Amino acid sequence: MGGLTGVMGAKPVPGASATPSRWRTPAGRLSRGATLLLGLALVLLAMVWGAASGAYAIAPAQLPGIAWDGIRSLWGGDVQTGPEHLVFLNIRLPRLLMGVAAGAGLGLAGALMQGLFRNPLADPGLIGVSSGAALAAGITIVLGGMYLPWLPRHLGSWALVAMAFGGGLAVTAVVYVLGQVQGTTRIGLMLLAGIAINALAGAGLGFLSFVSTDEQLRNLQMWLLGSLGASRWSAVALVWAAVAVSAAAALALARPLNAIALGEAQANLLGVAVEKTKRRAVMVAALAVGAVTATTGIIGFIGLVAPHWVRLIAGPDHRVVLPGSALLGAALVVSADAVARTIVKPAELPLGVLTAFIGVPLFLAMLRQFRSKV
Amino acid sequence: MSAHQGLSCLECRHLGVGVAKGPRLATVDVRIPAGRFTAILGPNGAGKSTLMSMLVGERAPQSGQVLLDGQALSAHAVEGLARRRSVMPQDCSVAFDFTAQEVVELGRYPHRHQPGAGEAQIPAQAMELTGVDHLAQRSINTLSGGERARTHLARALAQIWQPPADGAARWLLLDEPTAALDLAHQHHAMRLLRQWAGQQGAGVVAVIHDLNLALRYADDVLVLGGDAGVHHGAVLDVLQPALVRQVWGMQCDPVRSSDGALQYIFVADTALPV
Amino acid sequence: MSTARISRRQGLQWLGASVAGTALPGLAQAASAAAAPGAKRLVSLSGALTEVVYLLNAQNLLVGTDTTSLFPEAAQKTAKVGYVRQLSAEGLLSLKPDAVIATSEAGPPVVLDQIRQAGVRVSLVAARHNWAEVQEKVKVVGRETGRMAEADQLLAQLEAQWSSVQAQVAKAQRKPRVLFVLSHSGSPQVAGKGTAANALIQYAGCVNAIDQFDGYKPLTAEAMASAAPEVIINTTQGIEALGGEAAFWKRPELALTPAFAKKALVTLEASHLLGFGPRLPSAVQALHMRALQWVA
C-alpha cells in the first residue's frame, strides 16, 4: 500500500521541511517550548522595565532591596521605610502586577474568542462583556447617586468594580442565551446578537452621557479610556484570582478548539464535546475580561493582536496560542503602561489609547516580515 | 476477512430521507454490513447527501431510525463512536493555517487518552497511504482541492487506523470522496477503500457519482432512484443497464476492460427527456 | 525616613485592613492630622486655588498645578500633573509635595488614598457654586501655605468687593434674561440649574432663561426660541474655537432669539467666568454691567 509520491512524480515542495530542532518545528515555525520561553522572557523584561520606570525617581539599584523589605514586612520585623518604599511597594508594584494579570486575561480571552468564532478577527468584545461592563459603570457613575444609594453603603469603594463586573457577566449571559437554538449555541447567531447588544449598550451609554452632569460625564469618559491607576493590592489579588482560574480552565480547551477549527460538525464527529467547549470558552472569556474591565476600564486591542502575533510565530495550534497570547498580552500591557506613566510625567496618558498606539505599529511590522505566511 | 465482521452492521430501519419539513425523497430499509465497500449512488436531488448525513448522525431522520450494531445511533456515546467511526465530509474549510500534518493529527483526537502502539507514526503513515506525505508541512489552505481532499481522507483513515481493543468493526463514511480528485487519484482512493473494507474488515460507505468507479471497486451499492425506488445489493446484481436507464435516464452498453472489470459505456439518448 | 516596627499580630491584621487594600502592612504612614505649619512644597489642583496662591504671594511653594490652572500666566509654567479627575499617584509624589489642595473634583479616589498614605496632606474644597466656596478656598490656601494673616487680609478685601458688587446688582431696575452657551461641535449645550454658570447668572442679577433642567444639555432651535434669552453668555475660548463672533451668530439655533437681533453677546475668559475664585466679584460685576447694557 504505497503512496503515490514517486509514482506520480510529485516533486517535494522547496523549503517545506526545515530541519526540526528543539527551537523550530518542521514547518519552520518556532516550537511551542521556544515560543512560551520567549513570551516569558518578554514578560520579565517588561516587568523589569516597568519596575524601573515611573514619574518618581528611584534608582534601579535600590529596587531589589526595596522588594526584599516589602516581603519581610509581610511577616513582621523591623523595616526601614522611606518614600521610595511607599512609591514602589504601594503604587508601582501593584500596578505592575495588575498589568500582567490584565494583559494575560485579555490576550487569553482574545485567543479563545478567535478559536470559538473560527475567525482571526474575533475579539472579546464580540460577546458583549466590555460594553456590558461599560454600561454598568455608566449606570453607577451617572445614576448611582440618585437611584442606587445603597450601593456605596454596602460596597463602599468597590461599588463601581462590582457593578461593572456584574454588568459584563450579565450582558454576556444575554448574548449567549440569544445565541441558543434548541439547546445548541449557534455561533453565527451569537455574533449577531453580540453586535446588536453592543449597539444597545452603546445607546445606553449615550443616553447616560446625555443625562449626566458635567462631572459625571468626565468621570465616565475617563473610565472608558482605561487605566491601571486604581490598582490597589486587593484589586490586584482579585484580578489575579480571576485570571488564574480562567487560565486553568482554558488549558483544557486547547485541543477541542483545534478540532473545532475543522468545523463544529467535524469536531463533533471526532468526539469533541462541542457545546460544552463553546459554553466554557464564553464563560472563561467573560470571567477574565469582566474582572479586568471592571477594574481597569476598557483596554482595547490586546485581545485582537496578541493571538495573531503568536500565530505568526508559532502557528495556530491552540496549545501554544492560548498560553502564548496570555504571555504576550501581559508583556504588551506592562510595556504600554510603563510608557503611559512616563511619557508626559508627572501626568499620565490613558492606557487604552496607548495600547493601540503601541500595538498597531508592532503588529504591522510583524505582518511585513511574515507577509508570505499570511 | 475475520469472523466478527458479520455481526457489525449499519442499519436503516424505515428511514425517511428528506430535509426536516421537506418532501420525502426516499424510504430506506437496508442493512449495510461491515467488511464490504458499499457505494451510495443516485441522480442529483435523490437524497444521497441527506442520507449520508443521517447515517452519520448529523441530521435527524424524517421517520424511522439509524442503528449501528443494533443500537440507535443517538444511544452510542459520542467519544466511543469517534474511536471506531470516521467521516470524510464533502468539503471542509479549516480555519487558520494548520499544516496538513496537523490536520491529519487531529484525526487522532479520539485516541488522546488511549494512544495506540506506534501512535506518533500513524499520521505520517496515513498521509503516505493517500499520497500527501510530501505536503506535510504545507499549510492546508495553500493546497489544491485534490490535495486537500486527500489530506482529509488521510485524517479519516488515521482516526480508525487501528482496530479497537474490543475487536469491534471500524466504520468509514465518505461523502463524495472522489469529487475533487484527478483521474489517477480517484482510482487510487477507491482501491484504498476497497482494501480497507476487505483486508481491515471495516465497513466502508461512500457516496459517489461515477457508476464505473462503483462497478469496478464497490462490493455493494445502494441506489436512491427517486421515483424508481431504492435498490440495495451486490453491485453487479443491482446496477443493471435496465436500472441505469430507469434511474439516470441513460442508455449504457456493458463492456469488459482489458483487466476484466465490467464497465458501462454511456450512449446519449435524444429520445429521453433531459 | 521612619522606622515602622510591626509585630506579628499587626502584620496579620492587614487582612482586615486590606479590604480597602491600598497598602502593604506597616508601610502606610498616617498623614499628620494636626494642623502643621505651612507646607514647603504645594500642589494645587484647581485654577481658583492657584490664583489664591499667587495672590498670597506664595507661588514659590508651588511645585505643580493641574491643567486648569492657567491664571496668572506664570502658573502655566509650573509642572502640570494632568487632568484633575485622572491623577497619577506616582506623578504627584514625584514632585515630593507636603500638601495637595484641590476641589472635590479630584480623583480617582484610590490615588488620593495612596497619596495620603505617603504622608501628603490632602485638602478638598467642596464645589458648591456660591460665595462660601470662594471664602473656603482662600482659607484653605492660607492654612496650607502658612500665610493665615495674608489670607485674612485678602478675604477682607474680597468681602468688600463682593458687598459692593452685590449692592450694585441689587439696585438694578430689571433682570435680563440670559443664557449661557457652551459651544463645542454639534448642537450647543446650555447651562441649566445646578451649574456654576447658573449660580453666576443669579449673582449677576440676571435670570437664567432655562430653568427646566439641571446640568448642560443641548437645546433645539425651537426650545431656544421659546426660552427667548435677551443676552447670550459664552467664554472667549469658546468663541475663538468657533472662529469668532460672526461665526458664532451664524449658528441657526440662535437666529430666533431676541439676543440675535442685537447680537447681544457677553464673553469672558473661562477661568474668570466659571472658576469661582478670587476674581468672582469682578466676573459678576462685568456680567451684570454688560448684560444691562444690552437690554437698556
Residues of chain A with pLDDT under 50: 1-18
DSSP string, C145-157: HT-HHHHHHHHHH
Q: Is there a contact between B50 and B135 (Cβ–Cβ < 8 Å)?
A: no
Average pLDDT value for residue range C211-221: 83
3-class DSSP state of B12: strand
Instruction: Inspect the interface and report whether the beta carbons of B97 and A268 lie closer than 8 Å.
Output: no
- The mean-pLDDT minimum among A77-91, B228-242, B247-261 falls in A77-91
Instruction: Inspect the interface and report whether the beta carbons of A269 and B103 lie closer than 8 Å.
Output: no
A79: in domain: no
pLDDT at C170: 92
Task: Decide if pLDDT at C162 tops 60.
Answer: yes
Amino acid sitting at position B143: L
A61: in domain: no
Domains C38-154 and C173-295 share a fold: yes
Please report which confidence band the pLDDT of residue C33 belongs to, taking 50, 70 and 90 as the band edges: very low
3-class DSSP state of A271: coil
Task: Tally the domains of chain A.
Answer: 1
Instruction: List pLDDT tens digits, range C251-278.
Output: 888 888 899 989 999 999 988 988 899 9
If residue C180 lies in a helix (H) or strand (E), which one and from where to where? strand C177-182
If residue A350 lies in a helix (H) or strand (E), which one and from where to where? none
Question: For B162-180, b where at least 16 C-beta lie within 10 A, e where not — what string?
Answer: bbeeeebbbbbbbbbbbbb
Q: Which CATH architecture has domain C38-154?
A: 3-Layer(aba) Sandwich (3.40)
CA distances, C15 to each of C9, C20, C31, C152 (Å): 11, 10, 21, 46
Average pLDDT value for residue range C80-97: 90
Question: Could you tell me which CATH number the domain at B3-267 has?
Answer: 3.40.50.300
Which CATH number characterizes residue A186's domain?
A: 1.10.3470.10
Q: What residue ranges do the domains of chain C occupy?
A: 38-154, 173-295
Please report which confidence band the pLDDT of residue B130 belongs to, taking 50, 70 and 90 as the band edges: very high
- The mean-pLDDT minimum among A359-363, A369-373, B24-28, B52-56 falls in A369-373
CA distances, A257 to each of A44, A110, A119, A253 (Å): 29, 13, 12, 6
pLDDT at A211: 85
Instruction: Tell me how far apart the alpha carbons of residues C32 and C35 are, in angstroms, rounded to a whole number.
Output: 8
How many contacts (CB atoms, under 8 Å) link A and C?
A: 162
A205: in domain: yes
Hey, of A66, A69, A143, A232, which one would you mutate to test binding to chain C, going by the most C CBs within 10 A of its CB? A232
Q: What residue ranges do the domains of chain B occupy?
A: 3-267
Average pLDDT value for residue range C164-182: 92
DSSP C279: T
Instruction: List pLDDT tens digits, range A219-241.
Output: 898 888 888 887 889 999 999 99
Hey, of B81, B99, B142, which one would you mutate to test binding to chain A, going by the most A CBs within 10 A of its CB? B99
Distance, CA of C162 to chain centre: 18
Amino acid sitting at position C224: M
3-class DSSP state of A65: helix
Of A10, A118, A262, the CB nearest to B106: A262
Q: What ipTM was predicted for this assembly?
A: 0.91
Q: Which residue of A has its CA nearest to C120?
A: A83
A285: in domain: yes
Fold of C173-295: Rossmann fold (3.40.50)
Instruction: Take residue C24 and report the three cell numbers written for it.
Output: 502593604
Please report which confidence band the pLDDT of residue C216 belongs to, taking 50, 70 and 90 as the band edges: confident
Q: Is there a contact between A289 and A168 (Cβ–Cβ < 8 Å)?
A: yes
Domain that holds residue A177: 35-43+92-367
Q: Is there a contact between C229 and C295 (Cβ–Cβ < 8 Å)?
A: no
Please report which confidence band the pLDDT of residue B271 belongs to, taking 50, 70 and 90 as the band edges: low
Residues written for chain C: 296
Instruction: Tell me how far apart the alpha carbons of residues C231 and C290 are, in angstroms, rounded to a whole number.
Output: 9
Of A26, A263, A270, the CB nearest to B110: A270
Instruction: Take residue A244 and report the three cell numbers written for it.
Output: 488564574
Q: Where are the alpha helices (DSSP H) in A148-273?
A: 150-155, 159-178, 187-211, 214-225, 233-251, 254-260, 264-269
Chain C neighbors (3+ CB pairs < 8 Å): A
The beta strand positions in chain A, using DSSP E, are 77-81, 180-181, 184-185
Task: Decide if pLDDT at C29 tops 50.
Answer: no
Instruction: Inspect the interface and report whether the beta carbons of A81 and C110 lie closer than 8 Å.
Output: no
pLDDT at A17: 47
C72 preceded by a cis bond (ω within 30 of 0)? yes
How many contacts (CB atoms, under 8 Å) link A and B?
A: 108
